[in-house]
Amino acid sequence: MRRIALVLLLVLAGCGGDSGGDVPSTVRPGQDIFEERILGPNPGCVTCHSYDPDTTLVGPSIAGVAVRAQTRVSGQTAAEYLRESIVSPSAYVVDTFDDGKMPADWAEILTEAEIEAVVGYLLTLN
């Protein structure tokens, strides 16, 4: 059911429809995925990553993540860094955080379109 809703949101976004909220309709599907409390067998992104820059949950805050992602790995775009961080979380572990806390099976749980939607949403968080 969630995937049907996502497809409908992507279609609406592509047609210029607005699903509401503070983000453009084109990135709303990524926000919706990010804010789900449970994704497959894992806790959802928002369960572990705070929007508040001064709040640490399990992983780093995503406040300003688009700006930080631009300079984290030399030679990588922010989008490449974010995608790699999602599908292979041990590739870049932020200092002061433990490796192995973030699930490493997102590429099996989420479709390519869903991963790209989340990356697109994260790129709006300056």
What is the SS3 assignment for 46? helix
Q: Model confidence over 81-112: pLDDT tens digits?
A: 999 999 999 999 999 999 999 999 999 999 99
Two tokens, residue 61: 């805050």
Architecture per CATH, 2-122: Orthogonal Bundle (1.10)
Q: Which two tokens stand for residue 106?
A: 């997102």
**Element (DSSP H or E) covering residue 3:** helix 2-14
pLDDT above 90 as % of the chain: 79
| Cα distance between residue 40 and residue 80, in whole Å | 24
Give the pLDDT of residue 20: 36
Cα–Cα distance for residue pair 81/66, rounded to 1 Å: 10
Which structure tokens are listed for 69? 């992602």
Model pTM above 0.75: yes
